[in-house]
Amino acid sequence: MNERINTTLHTVSFVLMVALILWHFVASSVTFPYVLTILIVALIAIEVVSLIMVSKTYPENHTSFKIGIIAGLCILLGIKTMMPTLFVPLTVTVVAVNFLYNFYTGNKRRRGAYKRRKAKRLKL
């Protein structure tokens, strides 16, 4: 059940990204960095909820990667004010890596090849 909700969250984030980009092109008064800032805040919220839901099901490397993506998105908010010329390309790169990883893990999980390993217990 959590995995279906997780996949739905990733689909919602993808639809949100497409909608925000369309909003930028339709409304000429909206700047692209502003649209990306809204997208980053929404992606942080979606990724945190997604990570909470599947952290016990997916492997540890998935959890580590997702925490890195969330940290990268938070860092991008600081880059927006410090280096505005790098904000757009870095944001597009982080968002693209996030979506590619989401769909990669979703497909791999459906095939049953992406499982959490059971912890080994020490026997005395």
Work out the burial of residue 3: count CB atoms within 10 Å of its CB; fewer than 13 is exposed, 13-18 middle, 19 or more buried: middle
Token pair belonging to 31: 């700047």
Boundaries of every domain in the chain: 2-109
Strands (E), 6-124: none
Cα–Cα dist 14/89, whole Å: 18
The pTM for the full model equals 0.78
Beta carbons within 8 Å of 61's beta carbon, 6+ residues apart: none
Per residue in 32-77, pLDDT (tens digit) is 888 889 889 998 998 898 888 877 777 778 788 889 999 999 999 9
pLDDT at site 3? 64
Phi (first) and psi of residue 120, to 5 degrees: -80, 135
